[in-house]
Amino acid sequence: MQTSRRESLYIIANSTAFNLLSYLVVFLLFQLTTIAAAKIFDIPTTLFYNKIDFYGGVGVWTFDSVKIVYGSGNVMLFLLSILFLVVTIKAMEFDGLLRLFFLWGFINSMSMLLGAFIIGAFNYEGLGVVLSYLYLADTAKMLILFIGIVSLIAIGMAIVKPMLFTANMYYNFLEPEMRMAFRLKQFVLPYLISTFIILVIKYPLSFYENLLLIIPVFMIIPLFIGTGVLPTYFFEESEKHIRISIKLVVVTGLFIVLFRIILGIGIKFV
C-alpha cells in the first residue's frame, strides 16, 4: 500500500506530538514526585523546565533524605510504566490515535527509570546521588550498565507487536514490505524530531539529562531485529483515512509553550 508524502508527514506529525506530550507529562510527574518527597524533609525547592533547585543547609541531606528524595521519582516511573503498558496492551486492537500516547509514555517512563540506573552508576546526578552512597565497585557499576541495557532491549523486543499494531490507525493490513517505511514514520523519525525539540526547549541540559534522551534508542532497536519472519497483520476492514490531528498538534504546541514560559520563571515550593 503506497502512502503519499503528505500522508507520511501526517503520520510523523501525530506520533511526534504524542511522544512530546507523553515525555513532558512523565517528566513533570517525575519532578513533582521528587518535590513532594523533598517536602517530607522540609526542603524548599524551585521547579524549572530543566531542573529542580533544592535549598537548605548541608544538614538536611542525610542518607534517608537523599534516598527518598532522589529515589521517589523512580518508584513513580515504575508504577507509571506499568499503567501505560497495561493500557497499551488492553487497547492494542483499537484503532484510536490516543493509544500512541500510552505507548510513547511507556517507552519514555521505562527509559527514564532504567536510564537513571545505567547513567547514575557512573554519574553523580539523579539516582546516581543515591548510588554514590553505596560506594559501588567498578564491577558492580558495569553489571548495572549491562543488565540495564539488556533489560531495555528485552522490553523493546516484548513490545514489538504492540508497536507494529499501531499501523491499524492508518492501514487495513501491514505487510512485511510496508514495515520499514512504517517503522521510520511512526517511531524513528518522531523520536529524532522529538529529541531535538526537547533539547531546544530544555536547553541547557546537564550531561546526565542529555544521556537520558538517548536511552529510548535501545527500546526502538528491536523493531529492526528479526521482524522479517513476522506474518502480515490484518486489521479492521473498515475504510481508513490518514489525517493529521490538528487538535493534538495545537494542544501539544500550547503545552510546550506554557511549559517553557511558566517553568522558565520557576515555581517555588516552600
Query: pLDDT tens, 77-105?
Result: 999 999 999 999 998 878 788 999 999 99
If one counts every other C-beta atom within 10 angstroms of the C-beta of residue 207, the result is: 10
d(C-alpha 212, C-alpha 133), whole Å: 21
d(C-alpha 136, C-alpha 156), whole Å: 28
Longest Cα–Cα distance of the chain, Å, equals 65
pLDDT of residue 123: 81
Helices (H), 41-167: 63-90, 99-120, 127-132, 138-158, 160-164
Phi then psi dihedrals of residue 169, to 5 deg: -70, -25
d(C-alpha 270, C-alpha 254), whole Å: 28
pLDDT of residue 4: 82
pLDDT tens digit sequence for 154-195: 999 999 999 999 998 998 888 888 888 899 999 999 999 999
Is pLDDT at 228 greater than 70 in this prediction?
no
Whether the Cβ atoms of residue 73 and residue 109 lie closer than 8 Å to each other: no
Give bridge partners of residue 108 from the DSSP assignment: none
d(C-alpha 106, C-alpha 110), whole Å: 6
pLDDT of residue 53: 93
Q: Amino acid identity of 50?
A: N
Greater pLDDT, 128 or 154: 154
pLDDT of residue 16: 97
Percent of the chain topping pLDDT 90? 63
Q: Which range among 54-58, 62-66, 199-203 shows the weakest confidence by mean pLDDT?
A: 54-58
> Which pTM was predicted?
0.93
Rounded to whole angstroms, what are the CA distances from 244 to 7, 13, 174, 241?
8, 7, 20, 10
